Amino acid sequence: MLNETSTPAMPETSPEEWRPVYGYESLYAVSSHGRVRSLNREVWTRNGHFRKYEGRLLTVQIDTSGRPVVTLSRNGTVRMPRVCVLVAEAFHGPRPDGLMVRHLNDIKTDNRPDNLAWGTMAENGADYVRNGFHHYARRQTCDYGHEYIGPNLMINPSKPTARLCRACNRARCIVARQKVRGIQVDFRPLADAKYSELMSGTNVFSTGMTGAA
């Protein structure tokens, strides 16, 4: 008898398809709803008895990264693989070298095959940003409260998802240049002054010393 409550099923209307767990084909199955169960087993115990084990749904735990994991055992060896890996292996084939599982909607508990793909770490990061979960993708200002808008927004063409504060960037350049000359310049007031300049369109001191220190 399967315990239907031990593993939360994804909200899902499509029929649940079960496939063998890669590397554990005779022991476990994983489903298109992201559930894992053990299969019925018949074994001879060490003292010569024949025992039948009824398959059951496995309890899912959440690892420190927020991904569901299950406990699998084989010949006394216990492993705790991520459910997303088991689903990807069963429904998309074994893991290609160096690739990891992508959650396309970035919801780490959504382990339906349609939401999973093998991909590079860079693709995984792109999913994260595209789905708006990245700290910096969501932010509207830099650390100093300068808004990422209009003339103050800097985009690095090689990293278009990362936004930079032009005012802070200019202030940093000036501080560094003056430091070489042995002149100490306070960063914060200079950055604020640069921000005011940029936003008011009076970009007078684009490279030189402003005297704001």
Binder among 91, 128, 144, 205 for Zn ion (CB under 5 A): 144
**Residue 20 and residue 10 in contact, taking contact as beta carbons nearer than 8 Å:** no
Least spacing, CB of residue 190 vs Zn ion, in Å: 11
Name residues whose C-beta falls within 8 Å of residue 212's C-beta, 6 or more positions apart in sequence: 185, 186, 189, 190, 193
d(CA 198, CA 160): 21
Check residue 168 for interaction with Zn ion (CB under 5 A).
yes
Binder among 33, 35, 82, 146 for Zn ion (CB under 5 A): 146
CA distances from 211 to 13, 169, 196 (A): 66, 17, 15
Check residue 33 for interaction with Zn ion (CB under 5 A).
no
Give the residue with the Cβ less far from Zn ion, 60 or 142.
142
Check residue 190 for interaction with Zn ion (CB under 5 A).
no
Check residue 165 for interaction with Zn ion (CB under 5 A).
yes
Question: What phi, psi does 123 have (nearest 5°)?
Answer: -65, -35
For Zn ion, the nearest residue by Cβ is 165
Q: Which residues of the shown chain bind Zn ion in the complex (CB under 5 A)?
A: 142, 144, 146, 165, 167-168
